[in-house]
Amino acid sequence: MTTGPQLIQGELRLEGVPLREIAARFGTPCYVYSRAALTAAYEDYRQALAGRDALICYAVKANANLAILNLFARLGAGFDIVSGGELQRVIAAGGDPAKVVFSGVGKRRDEMRAALEAGIHCFNVESASELDHLNAVAADLDKVAPVSLRVNPNVDPKTHPYISTGLKTAKFGVAFEDALALYRRAASLPHLRVRGIDCHIGSQLLDPAPAAEAAEKILGLVDTLAAAGIAIEHIDLGGGKGIRYQDEAALSAAEYLAPTLQALAGRKEKLLLEPGRSLVGNAGLLLTRVEILKPGSEKSFAVVDAAMNDLMRPALYDAWHDIRPVMPRDGAPRPYEIVGPVCESGDFLGHERALALAEGDLLAVLSAGAYGMAMSSNYNSRPRAAEVMVDGERMHLIRQREDVAQLFAQESMLPR
Ligand code: LLP
């Protein structure tokens, strides 16, 4: 089954819904997600892990819309959170706190408290200091906090340096060499209970080998810990599986995880994964309208109504997203710079895209379901886009378009 947008009778549709109708009803810019694609991505993982004691903890940061969290909760997912805000979202969306892992290098004490009170599955601890903070907070509440240490296996994930996280030089996690001593320390603290071990080496990983190499290193450490009398119940291997943006060979979860699962063969520990992008990335697109065409001798610009504040990935990582006309027109394509109206030269969605365009045309920026809306901002006082989920023939507004009054509702002027 194909779950991406499809050109049918001259126009692009997502599931049974023409994107033109979504733009007419909800306006642009607008994020559009496919329920079928979200479900298929989750099922892809579930099948890859069939017959194994495993928990898929969706990385909320990739897309935190309540409807998406609710959908994954209904499918049985757990969640990987990195803030108190994400915890509140998961709970509001009907997620089970007992299936939540809490990652992040700088958890505040109030966030630790909220997570302890909610009864989360595990804290992924990233420093010696955090062990002490968490022990103190748990003592205050007269609770025992379940912990994993996030260990850096020092594996090169071969991805963009901004999203590569498991190297020695990263701010994340604790050094592999320090892990045994820190686990001993965790085991000695009265309000901590060692539950698991964790790693996350990076994002948009296309080669399955680094993940398997990380898993092997982690397993070696689990055995060392066992010999030291420290039992590990679960192994959390983080997220990171890449998706197809352009011409990447996108592996299924089963293909991507095969070498990792082979490394784990015969192990009794429960397996946790924290996929973000691979669950939502290809299930969403950003719908935008061409406002202005600006032909030039050097370059021709198509100024659209979505901008870097809506989708930051091109500006931030020089990331490539496919851009397709919603109703392709006849005529010779010419190379366009697809840019937004924001006052920055870095405000582009695509360079040199060969398209036949007229003002008013709708474009779909594909593979925008992950780290799209989640990283959007109000730069240039631009209200954030609407979000819509299609489900068969139906469309549901899952986030209203912001209005400008909401943007300054929290502000106040000095007294006279
Ligand atoms: N677990 C941890 C601890 C993470 O830091 C991340 C992502 C994930 C899981 C989920 O990784 P995924 O399966 O999505 O690769 N904004 C960037 C991506 C940043 C990823 C940050 N951490 C982008 O747009 O490419």
274 CB within 6 A, ligand 1: yes
Q: What pLDDT, in 10s, does the model give residues 198-229?
A: 999 999 999 999 999 999 999 999 999 999 99
Q: Please report which confidence band the pLDDT of residue 158 belongs to, taking 50, 70 and 90 as the band edges.
A: confident
Q: Can you give the pTM of this predicted structure? A: 0.97
Q: Is the CB of 277 under 6 A from ligand 1?
A: yes
pLDDT at position 162: 59
14-27 burial string, b = 16+ CB within 10 Å, else e? bbebbbeebbeebe
Determine if ligand 1 sits within 6 Å of the CB of residue 279: no
Residue range 169-194, pLDDT digits in tens: 678 999 999 999 999 999 999 999 99
Distances in whole angstroms, Cα of residue 223 to Cα of each of 56, 174, 232, 411: 24, 18, 9, 55
Work out the average pLDDT over 294-310. 96
Among 63, 277, 321, the mutation site with the greatest number of ligand 1 atoms within 8 A of its Cβ is 277
Atom 22 (ligand 1): residue with closest C-alpha?
Answer: 203
DSSP 10-42: TEEEETTEEHHHHHHHH-SSEEEEEHHHHHHHH
- Residues serving a catalytic function are 343
> 290 with 341: CB under 8 angstroms?
no
Class of residue 113 by CB neighbours under 10 A (exposed 0-12, middle 13-18, buried 19+) = middle
Indicate whether residue 163 lines ligand 1 (CB < 6 A): yes
Give yes or no for a contact between 215 and 178, defined as CB atoms under 8 angstroms apart. Answer: no
Would the pLDDT of 166 be above 60? no
For domain 35-277, give its CATH number from 3.30.390.30, 3.20.20.10, 3.40.50.300, 3.60.110.10.
3.20.20.10
Candidates 42, 44, 61: which one to mutate for ligand 1, based on the most atoms within 8 Å of Cβ?
A: 61
The DSSP code for 164 is B
Q: How far apart are CA 224 and CA 257, in angstroms?
A: 24
Q: Where are the domains of the chain?
A: 6-33+281-407, 35-277
State in Å: Cα 162 to ligand 1 middle. Answer: 10
Q: Name the residue at shortest CA distance from atom 7 of ligand 1.
A: 203
Decide yes or no: CATH 2.40.37.10 for domain 6-33+281-407. Answer: yes
Ligand 1 contact via 374 beta carbon (within 6 Å): no
Q: Token pair of 54, please?
A: 């495993």
pLDDT of residue 164: 59
Kindly report, residue by residue over 51-82, the tens digit of the pLDDT. Answer: 999 999 999 999 999 999 999 999 999 999 99
CA of 367 to the centre of ligand 1 (A): 15
Under the banding of pLDDT at 50, 70 and 90, the label for residue 1 is very low
pLDDT tens string 360-416: 999 999 999 999 999 999 999 999 999 999 999 999 999 999 999 999 999 999 999
C-alpha dihedral, 90 to 95 to 99 to 104, nearest 10°: -10
Q: Does the fold of domain 35-277 match that of domain 6-33+281-407?
A: no
199 CA distance to ligand 1 middle (Å) = 12
Rounded to whole angstroms, the Cα distance separating 412 from 340 reads: 30
For ligand 1, say whether the CB of 63 is within 6 Å of any of its atoms.
Answer: no
